A and B are shown apart, each in its own frame.
Chain A
Amino acid sequence: MTELIRVENAALAGVPEAISFTLSGGDMMVLVTPKDEVTTSLTKIIIGLEKPPSGKVSLFSGDVASFTVRELQEARRRIGIAYGTGGLISNLKVWENLTLPLYYHQHLGHDEIEARGLALLGRLGYSGKLMDLPGHLGLSQKKLVGCARAMIIDPDVIIYESPLSGLSQEETNSFFRIAKEFHHEKPERASLFITSNLEIVRSLPEAVVVNFVKGRNS
């Protein structure tokens, strides 16, 4: 299987030992971190927004440290990130947030973008207004829109950062069902769940779990 993300001996503040893992096409993996700050930091390191003090990060078989700005942008376009807080842009309305990556990266007509966006929001159960600014939404609604934005680009890798925070039990169940469906919709798609909440392991029995809490990659 194609190697999509490889992290080798990356030192991270708050983690006892250096982090190593490999995510290949078709993998479903859970990374358990000691706390939410580490989750955020690890997500940034994976997509090249932060550089680890030591170690190496590879995306799609290329060393992130040696990427040009354009190569890094190309790599990021293949990764969808559902942020723990939604990660929405505050001055864009819900609809603009959702469709921004499609309008920016793809030559698609308004009708097709509209159909894709509405279908995804409906599937995720978003019940808010499309023309609201993110400031007017609750955390779970923000997360749904952020998740839809990550999915709308049909990514090769989807990263779910702190997926359980702010969701009710019902929303959590629905979220995992959709995440699993989405994972299987595209062959070779990898799903990476990064969280400090071990509860996730019960909801994803089929996923490979890498626990960074115990002081060793287990």
Chain B
Amino acid sequence: MIGRLGHWALGSVIGLANIARIIIIAFRSLPNPLHPGRRPLIQVYLKQVYFTGFESLKIIIVISLTIGTVLVTQIISLVGAGNESLFGKVMVWVVIRELGPLLTAIIVVARSGTAIATELGFMKINGEMDTIKSLGIPPEQYLIMPRIFGVTTAVLILTIYFEIFSIIGAFLVASFGWHVSLETFSHGLFSSLTMGDLLMSALKSVFFGLFLTASCCKYGLDVGTSSTQIPQAATKGVMQSFFLVFIIDGIITFASLAFRSS
């Protein structure tokens, strides 16, 4: 039992080190501004931002509006009407600090993480990695780096949209259901919102984006020669990404609390 636990722990540490290594490689592969190859790299980056960011926007808007309305309804059912200033505060505590980055990352993992792992696995099996190498192009620079930064940019932007639309949803329900004025709602919101909250939200988004993409890239690149390994890689990549997102969320939240307390 202890042996198995040790084996699992060792495997997890090695897996995490490999994911961190992929992120470091992505940073080291950032092109020199004078390098001619930046044009195709920017193209891959923008495609990734488009597929992850723009195409997920509809679902992000629907979920965030729903979360906003649900939160306001729950606050009313918990503390009753007459505590309108609480709406804004809860939005900051729950949506901006936690749910915004977390749910956005989960949606991106489910939607784009699988796509990345599958695409890279398919390319590996088809020998396209070798083709890219034979053109004198480093695959880590052409395939990995733009994906990691593209998804990270998309997660950051989608988180901002998520938070804005959650607040809009919450205000609409509060306004139509309980006649809360914009002034009261925004007073509660802005009196609780600090730069630290926004920074924490942005920091979480960036770390989620980096780690979830690196994890999916790792499993996609680990595919060997059999096509049956592709769905396995996608599943493993997604599960690992979820695991990492929750762990990172816990670490950043705890570190932020420790920082505020000190």
Cβ–Cβ contact A103 & B130, under 8 A:
no
Contact B128 A89 (CB under 8 A): yes
- How many A-B residue pairs lie within 8 Å, measured between CB atoms? 61
Kindly identify, within residues 18 to 55 of chain B, every residue whose CB is under 8 Å from any CB belonging to chain A. Answer: 36-37, 39-40, 43
A152 → B minimal CB distance (Å): 11
For A49, list chain B residues within 8 Å (CB). Answer: 130, 133-134
Q: Residue on B with the closest CB to A86? A: B131
Q: Is B126 an interface residue (CB 8 A)?
A: yes
Residues in chain A near residue B119, CB distance under 8 A: 91
Bound complex: CA A89 to CA B40 (Å): 13
Complexed CA–CA distance, A24 and B14 (Å): 46
Task: Name the CB-closest residue of B to A85.
Answer: B127
Q: Which B residues are CB-close (under 8 A) to A149? A: 135
Residue B138 is within 8 A (CB to CB) of chain A in the complex: yes
Interface residue count on the A side (C-beta < 8 Å): 27
B interface, over-half SS: helix
Interface assignment of A107: CB less than 8 Å from any CB of chain B: yes
Residues of A near B37 (CB, < 8 A) are 103-105
Query: How many angstroms between the C-alpha atoms of A88 and B130 in the bound complex?
Result: 11
On chain B, the residues within 8 Å of A69 by CB distance are: 138
Q: Which residue of A73, A90, A101, A108 contacts B138 across the interface (Cβ within 8 Å)?
A: A73
- The yes or no answer to A81 lying at the interface (CB within 8 A) is yes
Number of interface residues, chain B, beta carbon within 8 A: 21
Name which residue of chain B comes closest to A70, CB basis.
B138
Instruction: Give the chain A neighbours of B128 by CB distance below 8 A.
Output: 89-90
Bound complex: CA A129 to CA B161 (Å) = 38
Query: Taking the complex as formed, is B136 at the interface, i.e. its CB lies under 8 A from any CB of chain A?
Result: yes
User: Which B residues form the contact surface with A (CB < 8 A)?
Assistant: 36-37, 39-40, 43, 119, 122-123, 126-128, 130-138, 142
Other CB < 8 Å A-B pairs besides A77-B136, A104-B36, A107-B36, 10 of them? A75-B136, A81-B134, A87-B134, A89-B132, A96-B40, A100-B137, A103-B36, A103-B40, A104-B39, A106-B36
Q: What would be 26 A-B contacts, judged by CB atoms less than 8 Å apart?
A: A44-B130, A47-B134, A49-B133, A49-B134, A74-B136, A76-B135, A76-B136, A77-B136, A79-B134, A81-B134, A83-B131, A89-B132, A90-B123, A90-B126, A90-B128, A91-B123, A96-B43, A100-B40, A101-B135, A101-B137, A103-B36, A103-B39, A104-B39, A105-B36, A105-B37, A106-B36
